[in-house]
Structure 1
Amino acid sequence: MEKIMQQALPLGTSDFRSLRINNEIYVDKTDLVFRLAQHRGKIFLARPRRFGKSLLVSTFESLFKNGLTHFQGLAIENKWEDKTYAVARLDFSSLKTFKSLEQFQTAFHSLLLSAFIPLGFKFNSDNKDLLFIDQLKMWLSSLPASSIVLLIDEYDAPLTNHLDDPEVFNTIRDCLGEFYTAVKQYEGCLRFFFMTGITKFSNTSIFSAFNNLQDISLDVQFGSLLGYTEEEISHCFSSYLDSAAHELKLSKEKLLELLREQYDGFSFDRQARTHVYCPWSVLNFFAKPSEGFQNYWYTSGGQPTVLMKYLTSHALKSPTVYDEPVLVSLSDLGASRQYDEISIEALLTQAGYLTIKEQVGGDYVRLGYPNEEVSRSMAQLYASELLRGQNLVQSGVPILAKILTSETPETVVDYFNRALTSIDYVRYPVDSEAACRAYLQVLLIGAALVPRVEVHNAFGRSDMEVEVNGRHWVFEFKYARSSNETDRLLKEAIVQVQSNHYGKTTDNKELIRVALVFSAEQRRFVAWESV
């Protein structure tokens, strides 16, 4: 009966009006919406996929078009006193795929017509002397001051889909640039302009056309504009928290702790004052809590086109720095840059893989993974890069969990060798003990496991440990640059494991400790022993 009385989850709902009419849960962001909408502004917001950008655009659309009709009981209700406006909403994600440039231009013009004809624009296709864009300019110039609202969602979608084809990219950019320039030229007719995207590329022309565009992507006061704070989850999803805790046989406090570790930690303000949960992951968890804390990020939001296209011609940094924090300047994160000039750190932050952990000095921030889900997603991305051209199944990576659960150390070492052999050795050479450990760590995380590296106890620190079902594995790695070092290094590893009592604090699990030696000459583990 309790579930019947619950408000429905807004999973997959990006239309504000529909969400409110159907009594789905709305996490009230209208105090911040009011703060933006009360002024005659031109605003840009960058956020990763699956954070609710489209719902936010739809919220502005409903507010300006219908006033407070669908805002009863929300924070803005007693603040908003403005009239209604003609609203043009453009979703550029509909322009991602086309067979020819002519088809793109036709689709783009069709999108503009569908948005502007209801506002009074009349295009005369028989007038061959006036181009489409010129007719649009004439209409814009005729509009009263501050009379229309223009909302653009996913402005960068048509471009990022063609980053690997400069000719097509430039043609699309020029086509879009004509439109942006027209709007800029007659911007006096705009009451409000709001645009979203993932990236901020200078060669899209939007940022040069709108030189007075306010970028709030790193603004401290709007850090929680998208995403759920923990307070919002506790307040708006209380019954779902209770249901999930009951289903998983956890206390509500423990459930929140696990939710925090898995899906929280995104910080979008330059001072890292606020952090939010990924809405998509939280909603999917509440929809099916019996399935546990799944990785909803990688398959739905963690492979944005812009990042995957970038990686076809750029390499990730070595997995040896997988766990290391990254220091970057805020100017690098916030600046609009040419596509081929953007840093991998800035792009990973825009895509949601990295987030701001803390401000360091005036213009620098430390970046890191926001949570366990994204950390695993990053490992999957690294695994795909490490094994580029190889099939993960053929490499044995996805079944490592099964192997570690029931097989012998010999079989595990064999699978490690198969995985390491599959790595693109030219781009990612195993040239040190740290590289060997880091690559296996990434491959294990890519197999949905949670390895820990440099695990400390009172006597020392082991190289890598991982728990799988009822087993606790401890691995100690050594790197032999020549074959005559192998026996000595294996003995050193065995003594190190034994004398430092690695893994001995584990309770109620089968402890399996393995010393391994990797050969630089043979590019594989050539000696190992259970300890």
Structure 2
Amino acid sequence: MKYPIGIQSFDQLIEDGYVYVDKTDLVYSLVKEGKIYFLSRPRRFGKSLLVSTLKNYFLGKKELFKGLKMETLEKDWLVYPVFHIDFNGGNFTNPGELNLWIKAYIDSWERDLEFETDKDLPIGLRFMEILKYAHTATGRRAVVLVDEYDKPILDVLDVNKDLEEEHRNILKGFYSVFKGADEHLQFVFLTGVTKFSQVSVFSGFNQPNDISMHCKYEALCGISQEELDAIFRKPVESMSEVYKCSYEEMRAMLKSHYDGYHFSDSMTDIYNPFSLLNAFDAQRISDYWFKSGTPTYLIRLLSHTDENMSDITGKYYAPEEFIDYKANVEQPLPMIYQSGYLTIKEFDIRRNMFLLDYPNNEVKKGFLSLIASNYFKTRESIYSWVNNAAYLLEEGKLDEFRVGLASFLASIPYTMRRKENEREKERYFHYTFYLIMRLLSVYTVYTEKEQSHGRVDCIVETPKFVYVFEFKLDGRVEDAIQQIEKKGYTKEYEADPRKLYKVGVVFSSETGTIADWKSELVLKSLNNTK
């Protein structure tokens, strides 16, 4: 099986015999049921391949669709003039680059059509003249496909305000062509990461049909669980041999690491296609998508906000809070969601509210490590420390875990934990342990549970051990242990065969590390453990 890693050309993928997950029935629905669309998906999710598929369809290349669902659906195979714009390769931090990029496309189209526009006209009007001419010359309306339409803005977002505004105005003028040339257009499709507010880029033409959260097109990009089971059983079986586990266990590992995306309230499970195909090719689970690069615009936005990830994740939101996109430093949530670092985890239909959290372990580990490294600014690698800490908990080496945790906390610069008041001190320690324990949850089974008697600070479950933690800032370790006992935090584990520990930890706001620690093995009756 040949995996199309990094291949975004539909014709090359088909001609060279790469595996293709057939989405052409959805493509057929798009082209027959609407005219102007916008689709938002994270990077490396197959948007460019989708645009290439549309391009080849509208060019009438019937032979490429042989054996695919489209072959039986389409009868006419008409050829349209297609104008494909791809902003992926541009470096739009350079002033004037966007104008040059668009002008190069227009010049190329003029050469292909053997038609020349007035060079003194604005770029948008030149494009309109080209669309009119293409319609007249071919007798068919034009098709416009724009890939990563928002990259010229994202490149300079929060870096160069003047250039950002200039790019918005250029794109607004360029896309306004679609309104004036409506009678000459057969189909328009735009992809990107974000959809900017209606008063900016899209205000110059009729609003596109945003299918980013349309249940019908939820699996238009990415790989569904049904598709994985039907097409990729052999590579999963092959990986199970490498990992010396059953097919079901291997499938579960792949699911926890790469699945978990949901793009509508239908909650269809979608795998990250880039990571999944890389894993099949290398026969190894690794963080392929995250290692391929983190958007710099996202890091810039997060550096400005006062909201910690603990304030954002694992909470319910109304659609307007993360779907009505507005890319700015005051509202990072829509950008985090659309970039693929958070996804829908539950939908409350009664309240029309969506629970947002990390989609899978690859994203959770990578994103939290990135945030933690930036937040803590430690001398010690967050990756190596978390890996070692998780191993120690899995092996029941609590004393070594305590020493390692104290050392890690001590490595955080004093300037990071120097806070002006008690509230800020508590907030710092709360967020510090949120990050640490969420990172540990990638390697262990971690749950922060609401129990009938109160909220547990932290529970870490491993195959052989369960740890119930209670944290105190500038308090007494005896009070932490007493709270675990008084609130009955360990009761639900008393029939569990794993060894159960209650752990009280006191942190010092003065030293920034562990001031006191006490762990006790919970003795269970024989009746409870049978």
Q: C-alpha distance in 2, partners of 1:36/1:499?
A: 53
Q: 1:489 aligns with which of 479, 498, 504?
A: 479
- Where does residue 417 of structure 1 map in the other structure? 409
- Where does residue 527 of structure 2 map in the other structure? none
Q: C-alpha distance in 2, partners of 1:40/1:458?
A: 52
Q: C-alpha distance in 1, partners of 2:319/2:446?
A: 31
Pair 1:401 & 2:387 matched: yes
Q: Report deviation, 1:316.
A: 3.7
Q: Is the 8 A contact 2:91 2:97 kept in 1?
A: no
**Amino acid in the other structure paired with 1:171:** E
Change (3 A) 1:203 1:95: farther
Q: Secondary structure at the match of 2:304?
A: coil
Q: Is the 8 A contact 1:441 1:451 kept in 2?
A: no
List per-residue Cα deviations over 1:22-71 (Å, max 9, x = no partner).
Answer: 11111000010000012450111011112100000000011111331200
- Where does residue 355 of structure 2 map in the other structure? 366
Q: Is the 8 A contact 1:298 1:377 kept in 2?
A: yes
Q: Is the 8 A contact 1:199 1:350 kept in 2?
A: yes
- Where does residue 333 of structure 1 map in the other structure? 322
Q: C-alpha distance in 1, partners of 2:489/2:25?
A: 60
Q: Is the 8 A contact 1:264 1:278 kept in 2?
A: yes
Pair 1:440 & 2:430 matched: no
After the TM superposition, which of the residue ranges 247-256 and 45-54 deviates more from structure 2? 247-256
Q: Is the 8 A contact 1:71 1:77 kept in 2?
A: yes
Q: C-alpha distance in 1, partners of 2:405/2:202?
A: 53
Change (3 A) 1:529 1:44: same
Q: C-alpha distance in 1, partners of 2:236/2:383?
A: 34
Q: Secondary structure at the match of 1:170?
A: helix
Q: Report deviation, 1:285.
A: 1.2
**Amino acid in the other structure paired with 2:300:** K
- How many residues are aligned here? 504
Q: C-alpha distance in 2, partners of 1:501/1:327?
A: 29
Superposed, 1:225-264 pairs within 5 Å as: 225-264=220-259
List per-residue Cα deviations over 1:385-426 (Å, max 9, x = no partner).
Answer: 422xx24x5366633433654873552242242255568335
After the TM superposition, which of the residue ranges 104-113 and 12-21 deviates more from structure 2? 104-113
Mind listing any 5+ residue stretches in structure 1 that lack a counterpart?
Answer: 1-6
Q: Is the 8 A contact 1:64 1:87 kept in 2?
A: yes
Pair 1:84 & 2:79 matched: yes
Q: Secondary structure at the match of 1:25?
A: coil
Q: 1:23 aligns with which of 17, 22, 37?
A: 17
User: TM-score normalised to the size of structure 1?
Assistant: 0.83
**Amino acid in the other structure paired with 1:183:** F
Change (3 A) 1:336 1:210: farther
Q: Secondary structure at the match of 1:151?
A: strand
Superposed, 1:70-469 pairs within 5 Å as: 70-80=64-74, 81-99=76-94, 101-115=95-109, 117-123=111-117, 129-144=120-135, 146-164=140-158, 165-202=160-197, 205-269=200-264, 271-289=265-283, 291=284, 293-300=285-292, 303-319=294-310, 321=311, 325-337=314-326, 339=328, 343-356=331-344, 357-361=346-350, 363-387=352-376, 390-391=377-378, 393-394=379-380, 398-402=384-388, 405=392, 408-418=400-410, 424-425=416-417, 426=419, 429-431=425-427, 435=431, 437-444=433-440, 449-450=443-444, 452-454=446-448, 463-464=457-458, 466=460
**Amino acid in the other structure paired with 1:348:** I
**Amino acid in the other structure paired with 1:368:** D
Q: Is the 8 A contact 1:380 1:442 kept in 2?
A: no
Q: C-alpha distance in 2, partners of 1:215/1:236?
A: 29
Q: C-alpha distance in 2, partners of 1:431/1:367?
A: 22
Q: Secondary structure at the match of 1:382?
A: helix
Pair 1:65 & 2:59 matched: yes
Q: C-alpha distance in 2, partners of 1:181/1:328?
A: 32
Q: Is the 8 A contact 1:437 1:463 kept in 2?
A: no
Q: C-alpha distance in 1, partners of 2:13/2:489?
A: 62
User: TM-score normalised to the size of structure 2?
Assistant: 0.83
Q: C-alpha distance in 2, partners of 1:204/1:15?
A: 34
**Amino acid in the other structure paired with 1:479:** K
Q: C-alpha distance in 2, partners of 1:460/1:326?
A: 19
Coordinate RMSD, CA, aligned: 3.5
Change (3 A) 1:340 1:500: closer
**Amino acid in the other structure paired with 1:88:** F
Q: Is the 8 A contact 2:274 2:288 kept in 1?
A: yes
Q: Is the 8 A contact 1:203 1:337 kept in 2?
A: no
Change (3 A) 1:349 1:335: same
Q: C-alpha distance in 2, partners of 1:400/1:135?
A: 56
Counting aligned pairs with the same residue, the percent is 28
Mind listing any 5+ residue stretches in structure 2 that lack a counterpart?
Answer: 521-530
